[in-house]
Structure 1
Amino acid sequence: MGKYFGTDGARGRVNENLTLDMAIRIGQYLGWYYGKERHAKIIIGKDTRLSSDMFEMGLAAGATSTGATVYLLGVCPTPSVSYLIRKEHFDCGIMVSASHNPYHDNGIKLFNHEGCKMNPEVENAIEDYIDGKCTVPLAKDDAIGSVIEWNEGLEIYESWLKEIVNIDLSGMKIAVDLANGSATATAVETLSSLGATVEAIHNSPNGININTNCGSTHPQELQEMMREGNYDVGFAFDGDADRLIAVDEDGNLFNGDYTLYVCGRYMKKNNTLNKNTVVTTVMANLGLYHALRDNFIDYEQTVVGDKYVFECMQNNDYRIGGEQSGHIIFLEHAVTGDGLLTALKLLQIMVDEKKSLKELGKDLFIYPQLLVNVQVQDKNKTMESAELKEQIDQVAAELGDEGRILVRPSGTEPLVRVMVEAKSDELCHDYVYRIVDYIKEHKL
């Protein structure tokens, strides 16, 4: 983790932790770095936050000042930027978004020429440039770059999605929660063009309502809509549309664990599950592992973060992986999570299997889960405690195959996260607080 760039780009409160000057300098460095032999070709997308226009313009101004040609995609899903980089041979790409954060935050996500997250070495060099530790030459005269508003980019992206999942959704009624974010640019149009009747909520972004009591992090309104209406399925996106939480016809949530189970089983049946393996993070529910085992499907675990899921998939040529949050990667098609692609994959399975989402997920039992954060003085010292490890091992032994405990440090705060899954909420509570109370009592 760098000074400004974390695992998912630079992110912070606008004009405090993330400033226009930073955006200009990021654009300048990328324009120079990729333009050493010829004019760099850079694509920029954005979500619907009030500040996204400002950062888009700052990035474009910076990049053109060092000679780059900048293509503005406008409001778009993050995965569309990743795809178009590869499809149209851009040198790099930038997405202005803070994903599921509130509107007052924003972020700048960088992608390399392969559509993957930017190499840490380049991000480190950009940080040095932001801090004035190095300089880059500015373009002069006819070497100054230009900006192109590239409206057809999203049409190319949507056409690609429909080529991947070429299904007839005629007669299907779909409810979508677009989080007043990036999905407003693509979801309704794509699903409707495949024949579905689509009803959208939170489809009117005004710059400050992105993710506000809506979308994949707050799907309650969509759940109620599904219970009261006659819909086949519901889909909730996050702010930049790279995550998806589905909702079945009864209003029950269908998170990333369900998606990995249903898609993994379908891929195995159709001989497309390479190496018979699904990739998850350590936070996936124990019930998912039991269900995969019952279907003779292997799995690999990574630490939390889609970056690590992707690295595991890429290194081992696995085809599907993801997180409970709904960030699912289908590596045969894309190198990042894509909420709309995930929705289309689920719809394809519903159509092919002639089953509802509820029927597809009925054999997956999700174990009750409780996660409690404990504030500590030194999270690393806490995690090194032999006495704490003994307590954790004792809980793990008592849970056996019918539960699990996971204790890990926060990546950004002085916290230790204690998570237990067990057969009942009562057991989860008892075991979690056995560890939490131990940490507090012994001042670890």
Structure 2
Amino acid sequence: MPRLFGTDGVRGLANRELTASLALGLAQATAAVLTRGRRAQERQAQGRRPVAVVARDPRISGEFISAAVAAGLASSGVDVLDAGVIPTPAAAFLIADIGADFGVMISASHNPAPDNGIKIFAFGGTKLPDEVEDRIESLLGSEQDKLTPIGGDVGRIRRFADAEDRYIVHLLGTLPHRLDGIHVVLDCAHGAAAGPSPRVFTDAGARVTLIGADPDGININDGVGSTHLDNLARAVLEHGADVGIAHDGDADRCLAVDRDGNIVDGDQIMAILAVSMAERGLLKDRTLVATVMSNLGLRKSMAANDIRMVETKVGDRYVLEELNADDLSLGGEQSGHVIMTKYATTGDGILTGLHLVAEMARTGKTLAELAAVMTVFPQILINVRGVDHHGLKSDVVIADAVREAEAELGDTGRVLLRPSGTEPMVRVMVEAADQPTADRLAHQLADVVRERLAN
């Protein structure tokens, strides 16, 4: 059986793979695992029940899934604080802020509206380790370990009335500089950012123009947000704005557009923030954490600014693990997941956008001027499907082809071949000083992979 938990919680087509009964059972299994241990003994001594924060993005299926999750938790003796529609990083913050025992976020992030997901956060608003997710999955549907309190011991479900206000106050408190005089176009992806993002940018002093800020339950990520930047670029040019900020459906990502409509991706945003934090003595150990998919230009930019760069596997959870292991302060992904550990336990698109625009205000520079700290190398990614991806590491012909490509590129490019973890596919990525070279070498390598690993 495939593992229920993926790299970012449990996801699937709502009311098909992700059903109300699965959400109910998953909540009950979560309660059975996360309400035991030392904290449980402390709660019993204080005569109180465990508390969980439940939140969702605005997609329509989140209504029945969050109801099922709340029911599963309350039936297991957990008091539920229903935060309603808020960003994923807001849910993580609130868990830590009120000292809740854990929390559940219902969202499929940048996926289309028919999909949904369940993400579980531990005490402190941190993601669960794989082994804890495995324990929860092993108890799914089990009657033996199910918690079934009765009478006054069942949980209560209450509205978390000031959830968004708490989050906004927190965000404003992190700002190193006000945003007065800067015109920002915000694309909220018709998602969870539509409430807090305009409020916090306005309160910080920015002039705000909104697009993608009218969620109706089915339009989330539909042609808007961080995966569809054309509308944002047009809006920035149309309104003569200084900068555009794009979120995804649950607002844990941030990508940007400069005043000329040029995209500034997650790597460039990390470069800007890393250099700024290093200058101000805020970048712990002068170290940035990024994944192997980050652009070669980011590596060269960090080296030029005497900043060490640590690489991880693809996935923000691996970035976060490295940040926590060495108590580092900044990391993220090219996709716009940026983690600032002083202020957040997960990627926070609103927080990232605020600090990016604050750097414009602090320095008086345009976003394009700030982004010039990094030269983006042309990059091409080819997904070679229908191959035996397990044979990639042992194939000597492929290894020789990779060495030849690397020898041609020298220090002006990079080659990365990566097997998919979920399907018979190999990802071939090449970066080079010019696009034709990147394209040529990537297609040559893809042809070799296709020939050598054909099923």
Mapping for residues 314-353 of structure 1, pairs under 5 Å:
314-353=324-363
Aligned match of 1:184: 194
Aligned match of 1:256: 266
Mapping for residues 17-416 of structure 1, pairs under 5 Å:
17-36=17-36, 37=40, 38=44, 39-132=49-142, 134-165=144-175, 167-416=177-426
2:93, 2:344 within 8 Å by CA — same for their partners in 1?
yes
**Bigger shift: residues 157-166 or 63-72:** 157-166
- Indicate the SS of the match to 1:301: strand
The aligned length equals 444
Same amino acid, percent of matched pairs: 38
- Indicate the SS of the match to 1:250: coil
Q: 1:18 to 1:134 in 2, by over 3 A?
A: farther
Aligned match of 2:13: 13
- Deviation (angstroms), 1:443: 4.2
1:128, 1:134 within 8 Å by CA — same for their partners in 2?
no
Distance in 1, matches of 2:453 and 2:371, equals 43
Distance in 1, matches of 2:452 and 2:91, equals 49
* One-letter amino acid of the structure 2 residue matched with residue 31 of structure 1: A
1:179-237 Cα distance to aligned partner (Å, 9 max, x none): 00010121001111122221111111111111111100001100111122211111000
**Bigger shift: residues 376-385 or 431-440:** 376-385
The answer to whether the aligner puts 1:424 opposite 2:434 as a matched pair is yes
* One-letter amino acid of the structure 1 residue matched with residue 26 of structure 2: I
Distance in 2, matches of 1:281 and 1:63, equals 35
1:66, 1:145 within 8 Å by CA — same for their partners in 2?
yes
Distance in 2, matches of 1:279 and 1:442, equals 34
1:35, 1:67 within 8 Å by CA — same for their partners in 2?
no
* One-letter amino acid of the structure 1 residue matched with residue 29 of structure 2: Y
1:60-97 Cα distance to aligned partner (Å, 9 max, x none): 00111111100011100100111111111000010000
Distance in 1, matches of 2:285 and 2:103, equals 32
- Indicate the SS of the match to 2:293: coil
Instruction: Please report the RMSD computed on the Cα atoms of aligned residues, expressed in angstroms.
Output: 1.5
Distance in 2, matches of 1:133 and 1:122, equals 19
- Indicate the SS of the match to 1:211: coil
- Indicate the SS of the match to 1:5: coil
2:10, 2:117 within 8 Å by CA — same for their partners in 1?
yes
1:327-376 Cα distance to aligned partner (Å, 9 max, x none): 00111221111001001111221111111111111232111111001113
* One-letter amino acid of the structure 1 residue matched with residue 378 of structure 2: P
- Indicate the SS of the match to 1:401: helix
- Indicate the SS of the match to 1:176: strand
- Indicate the SS of the match to 1:116: coil
**Structure 1 gap ranges (5+):** none
Distance in 2, matches of 1:124 and 1:32, equals 13
Q: 1:2 to 1:8 in 2, by over 3 A?
A: farther
1:84-118 Cα distance to aligned partner (Å, 9 max, x none): 11111000010000001111110000000021112
Distance in 2, matches of 1:9 and 1:34, equals 16
Distance in 2, matches of 1:2 and 1:89, equals 34
**Bigger shift: residues 169-178 or 416-425:** 169-178
- Indicate the SS of the match to 1:307: helix
Distance in 1, matches of 2:199 and 2:99, equals 26
2:389, 2:453 within 8 Å by CA — same for their partners in 1?
no
TM-score normalized with structure 2 length: 0.95
2:398, 2:452 within 8 Å by CA — same for their partners in 1?
no
2:77, 2:147 within 8 Å by CA — same for their partners in 1?
no
Aligned match of 2:4: 4
Distance in 2, matches of 1:76 and 1:317, equals 28
1:368, 1:423 within 8 Å by CA — same for their partners in 2?
yes
Distance in 2, matches of 1:417 and 1:426, equals 19
* One-letter amino acid of the structure 1 residue matched with residue 4 of structure 2: Y
Distance in 1, matches of 2:251 and 2:29, equals 27
**Bigger shift: residues 429-438 or 161-170:** 161-170
- Indicate the SS of the match to 2:392: helix
Distance in 2, matches of 1:2 and 1:275, equals 40
2:187, 2:211 within 8 Å by CA — same for their partners in 1?
yes
Distance in 2, matches of 1:67 and 1:380, equals 45
* One-letter amino acid of the structure 2 residue matched with residue 191 of structure 1: F
Distance in 2, matches of 1:67 and 1:120, equals 25
- Deviation (angstroms), 1:151: 1.9
Q: 1:126 to 1:31 in 2, by over 3 A?
A: same
* One-letter amino acid of the structure 2 residue matched with residue 9 of structure 1: G
* One-letter amino acid of the structure 1 residue matched with residue 317 of structure 2: K
- Indicate the SS of the match to 1:6: coil
- Deviation (angstroms), 1:278: 0.8
**Structure 2 gap ranges (5+):** none
- Indicate the SS of the match to 1:408: strand
Distance in 2, matches of 1:382 and 1:341, equals 39
**Bigger shift: residues 140-149 or 26-35:** 26-35
Q: 1:375 to 1:383 in 2, by over 3 A?
A: farther
1:2, 1:124 within 8 Å by CA — same for their partners in 2?
no
- Indicate the SS of the match to 2:208: strand
Distance in 1, matches of 2:418 and 2:363, equals 39
* One-letter amino acid of the structure 2 residue matched with residue 75 of structure 1: V
Q: 1:353 to 1:151 in 2, by over 3 A?
A: same
